[in-house]
Structure 1
Amino acid sequence: MRFRSKLAGLAGMALAVTALAAPAEAAATVCGSSYTKVGSYAIPQTGTRVGTLEVYYSSSTGKNCALAVGYGSTYGVKNTKAVYIGLAGPGVPWADDNSGSFEYYAGPVYVSAPGKCIAVQGVIFKGSTHYTRHLDSVHCD
């Protein structure tokens, strides 16, 4: 009985280490089990990375999902994070957004866009400075 309990404990520790080693991949399950990653973009585009804008798609629902995930010193630290998603195009409002003080990520946010392009934006604050990544006309499926 002790052997089984030790084995279960070791399996649990391995799972925890895996989740810590790959925070963006672990966050993907937040969108839902039918979603697959279609894009991963550093926040900001150049310079020191403070986050990742992750985009997922579910062919079964026709919906896209996005998360703004902290990276390095902004992952696991409660600070302002925000994510926005919508259909691509000038003047088109965001379909969904999520912002606030989060430890790991903002989101998930969703938009139904089968056969259409989407726009996404992620914002991560580090101290009093905000870093943004905006993409228009991505994932045009």
Structure 2
Amino acid sequence: MNSSIRNRLASMLAISTALIGYGLATAPSASAANYGCAGSSIDSFAVKSQQGTTFGHIYLYFDSSTKKNCAVTVKNDAGSYGTVTYTSIQIWKCSAGTRAGSDCSNIDSDVKDAGDYKYQAGPKSLAAGGHCIEVDATINNKNGYTAQYFSKAIHCG
């Protein structure tokens, strides 16, 4: 192989290695898969319109080291993903004694993120160890339709 070809191949290899290294260095972190929430995925809920169309999902996480629940509402195409529309997520910490599947009529605390977003509302975290939680979400799409989800008391303990 003549030196000119060898030099070109060496240059191409160096450029390829640099590009691969750049791609690895700029790859999204593992936490991006959790939409900014710490912990493990414990549940998800479809956010549906009255007509039954799913506009997105609530993703719920629990961090056992901090005893915090974290939730995010992520829009899909029907929910106008990529278009600024009203989107919300809320987590409620039920008072002691609330049983799973019941209404969380007495609230100890709550966190909410609501506004005009392109992709998601949240993440929002709430310490609720030893208590049930409720989650709710709303997504308005660009056509003026609304989808909502309201849970009963869940993930008690």
**TM class by smaller structure:** 0.7 to 0.9
Confirm or deny that 1:61 pairs with 2:76: no
Instruction: Pick from 65, 71, 76 the counterpart of residue 71 of structure 1.
Output: 76
Match of 1:22 in 2: none
Confirm or deny that 1:4 pairs with 2:17: yes
Match of 1:40 in 2: 44
Number of aligned residue pairs: give it: 131
Q: Which has the larger radius of gyration?
A: 2
Match of 1:109 in 2: 124
Q: Supply the distance in 2 between the matched residues of 1:131 and 1:115 (Cα, whole angstroms).
A: 30
Question: Which ranges of 4 or more aligned residues in structure 1 deviate by more than 3 Å?
Answer: 8-13
Give the TM-score normalised by the residue count of structure 1: 0.79
Higher share in helix: 1
User: Equivalent pairs: percent with the same residue?
Assistant: 26
Kindly report the root-mean-square deviation, in angstroms, between the aligned alpha carbons of the 2 structures.
2.6
Task: Give the 3 Å change call, closer, same or farther, for CA 11–106 of structure 1 in structure 2.
Answer: same
Match of 2:98 in 1: none
1:44 counterpart SS class:
strand
Instruction: Pick from 86, 104, 117 the counterpart of residue 80 of structure 1.
Output: 86
- Unaligned 5+ runs, structure 1: 20-24
1:108: how far off?
Answer: 1.4
- Unaligned 5+ runs, structure 2: 1-13, 95-103
Confirm or deny that 1:137 pairs with 2:153: yes
